[in-house]
A and B are shown apart, each in its own frame.
Chain A
Amino acid sequence: MSEKQYTYAVARIRAKELTLLNDAFLEQLISAKSVNEDMALLSEKGWKGRENSEKQDPLDVLSYEEEKTYRTVLEMVDDPHAFDVFLLKKDFHNLKAAVKETFAGKAFADIYVNGGTIEPEKIRDAVKEGDFTSLPESMSKAGKKALDTLLHYRDGQLCDIIIDRACLDEIKKASTKNKNALIRRYGELTVALADIKTAVRGAHAKKDLEFFTEALAECDTLDIKRLAEAASLTVDDIYDYLENTEYKDAVDSLKKSFFAFEKWCKDALMDSIRPEKAHPFTIGPLAAYILARESEIDSVRMILTGKENDLPDQMIRERISRTYV
């Protein structure tokens, strides 16, 4: 069956793409002297937060921009769940937060994120009451298993692995079902890159094969069994394995630093969405716009955090990914 056409929405998104931040503007933000100066620059670009004023809390401005992106794109499509695959990370983050909050027996401030497919309160209540029936099956299973593990073994890392793995499996499942090539590619890339990150981190921490078998999620572009075996040996074995995969370009950045690899991952995602600039009808350009906006919001967050912590400009620059425009 052919893909549904989004002629109106794509044309509208083309006009909206003009408002995306470009590399030159990000450089301007990096070169600014303070967070206030950055906020003034962002305000000129229309990043004014909910109150539409120039003096806004940076975090509020960023979360509002994120919210605005989804609201804008979703009003152009008839399926409100069209981009749920991008929001699953937030749901599983909230599940992790709820499990840890329940284990600790007290509430923590600002650990939940808004904008997922399920309200954070619903996830929190389900975990707190131990009644997971109100959550989707994958979340329910992972949440229950993670909570039991945390209560029995008091191992926070194991709890994280269970939920992260369930999240990756769900992203892969949701993206594979999608008719659009970009969304399928997003799912594959997200899972594969997360697996590489886990493998490298685990190898540095000298984790065993059992850990990797539990933590690595299935994907099409990596042989998980071989990656797990390599990771249980040394980091160099992971590099040797990756040299024979489509992720061989990542090896140099992995050898350099983990931040360099993080940047490589973001750039790889941006590179994979760039062909959508030439697609006039499919949902791909809409998905690409969401990912481009998320990436620029991420970059701005990185710059503001760097400015707040007096990081050198060069260090911030090294962590900023290429833009879509």
Chain B
Amino acid sequence: MSMGTVWALLGAALSALLAGAGSAIGVGKAGQAAAGVVTEDPSLFSKVLILQLLPGTQGIYGLLIAFITLTNIGIMGGSADMSVHKGMLYFCACLPMAVVGLISAICQANAAVSAIGLVAKKPDQFGKAMIFPAMVETYAILALLVSILSIFGVSALK
């Protein structure tokens, strides 16, 4: 296996690792808040569960980027040989999802915790409460798009 493949694999691994870690932290944090609310009012379970799951999407995006990268570099079948230059390009393509995935999941969790507090006090404002953490998702989606476009762009290079 060439050094280029190692760089590309490192990018894929970081994408799954950092975005997944961010989501784990985020869902865990929001889960604590959700549990606090359900302790007092079990009827709010379904509402706070949705808010708890919001920071979980970054982990899925990270996995998607890792999967696309692995497919493109031939790790999951085919030839895995490539130049160091191309491997580093794959690595860079994975970075947006890895870094933004980690940070946005944690930030989204903070917003989700606040939204859970809002739902605890005003359950009828669930719709509005969900918008605040959902706004953070925008940046995770932008990072996902940049990573996908970059990976396909790199794979098209000779």
Contact = CB atoms under 8 A, between A and B. Distances in A.
Interface of A: 7-18, 76, 280-281
A11 B33 contact: yes
Interface stretch (B9-17, B54-62, B115-123): B115-123
B32 interface: yes
28 contacts: A7-B33, A7-B36, A8-B33, A8-B35, A10-B117, A11-B34, A11-B37, A11-B113, A12-B36, A12-B37, A12-B40, A13-B36, A14-B36, A14-B120, A14-B121, A15-B36, A15-B37, A15-B39, A15-B40, A15-B44, A15-B121, A16-B40, A18-B120, A18-B121, A280-B110, A280-B113, A280-B114, A281-B113
Contacts of A9: 36
A257 B57 CA distance: 60
Given A280-B110, A280-B113, A11 B29 contact: no
Given A7-B32, A11-B117, A14-B117, 6 more contacts: A7-B29, A7-B36, A10-B117, A11-B37, A11-B113, A17-B121
Nearest to B44: A15
Judged by DSSP, the binding face of A is: helix
Contacts of A17: 121
Interface in B1-55: 29, 32-37, 39-41, 44
Interface of B: 29, 32-37, 39-41, 44, 110, 113-114, 116-117, 120-121
A286 to B, nearest CB: 11
B28 to A, nearest CB: 9
A14 B33 CA distance: 10
Nearest to A72: B40
B121 A12 contact: no
A139 to B, nearest CB: 36
A301 B34 CA distance: 35
B46 to A, nearest CB: 15
B107 to A, nearest CB: 13
Contacts of B121: 14-15, 17-18
A283 to B, nearest CB: 14
A78 to B, nearest CB: 14
A14 B29 contact: no
A138 B120 CA distance: 42
A10 B116 CA distance: 10
Contacts of A14: 36-37, 116-117, 120-121
Contacts of A7: 29, 32-33, 36, 113
A17 B117 CA distance: 10
Given A14-B120, A15-B120, A280-B117, A8 B32 contact: yes
B114 to A, nearest CB: 5
Contacts of B110: 280-281
A11 B29 CA distance: 11
Contacts of B33: 7-8, 10-11, 280
Contacts of B34: 11
Nearest to A285: B117
A5 to B, nearest CB: 8
A205 to B, nearest CB: 47
A9 B35 CA distance: 9
Contacts of A76: 36
B32 A11 contact: yes
Contacts of A18: 120-121
Contacts of A280: 33, 110, 113-114, 117
Contacts of A281: 110, 113
B91 to A, nearest CB: 33
Contacts of A12: 36-37, 39-40
Nearest to A12: B36
A209 to B, nearest CB: 50
Identify the interface centre among A13, A15, A281: most chain B CB within 10 Å of its CB.
Answer: A15
